Amino acid sequence: MAVPKKKISKSRRDMRRSHLALKPVNSVACLNCGESRLPHHMCNNCGMYNGKQILKDKRPLA
């Protein structure tokens, strides 16, 4: 079984984990209804994407 020869300091450990932090979710406002949505995704509230009506009924996907 592998055993480390020296203790890894907290600073070195935390530097290794620095890229593991959670990033905030990016969202934009829908141009049609103003509801927040993910970029490059259809709006779940009104069914519009890129100025076109994608969903016929305006119920959200759930």
Question: How does pLDDT run along the chain (62 residues), one tens digit per residue?
Answer: 899 999 999 999 999 999 999 999 999 999 999 999 999 999 988 889 998 998 886 555 55
Q: Is-contact 32 48, C-beta < 8 A?
A: yes
Paired residues of 36 in beta bridges: 29
pTM confidence score = 0.58
